[in-house]
Amino acid sequence: MVKDSARYASTGGWGYGRFIDGTPADEAQHRTCDGCHQARVKDHDRVFTRYAP
């Protein structure tokens, strides 16, 4: 996950990513992420590692 309130405004500032064997999963899978996070972990802000390209 990446936090960027401008770029990902529609999902509460969070960009979601899921990779399977190094390949990004399809968009339909990413759409499932935010619903649950908004409902359950909206006030948590725990991601602190850097994105490793």
Residues of the shown chain interacting with ligand HEC in the complex, contacts defined by CB under 6 A: 1, 16-18, 29, 32-33, 36-37, 40-41, 44, 46-47
In the complex with ligand HEC, the residue whose CB is nearer, 4 or 47, is 47
Q: How far is residue 18's CA from residue 38's CA, in Å, rounded to a whole number?
A: 17
In the complex with ligand HEC, the residue whose CB is nearer, 4 or 32, is 32
Closest separation in Å from C-beta 47 to ligand HEC: 4
Residue with tokens 């908004």: 38
Q: How far is residue 39's CA from residue 50's CA, in Å, rounded to a whole number?
A: 25
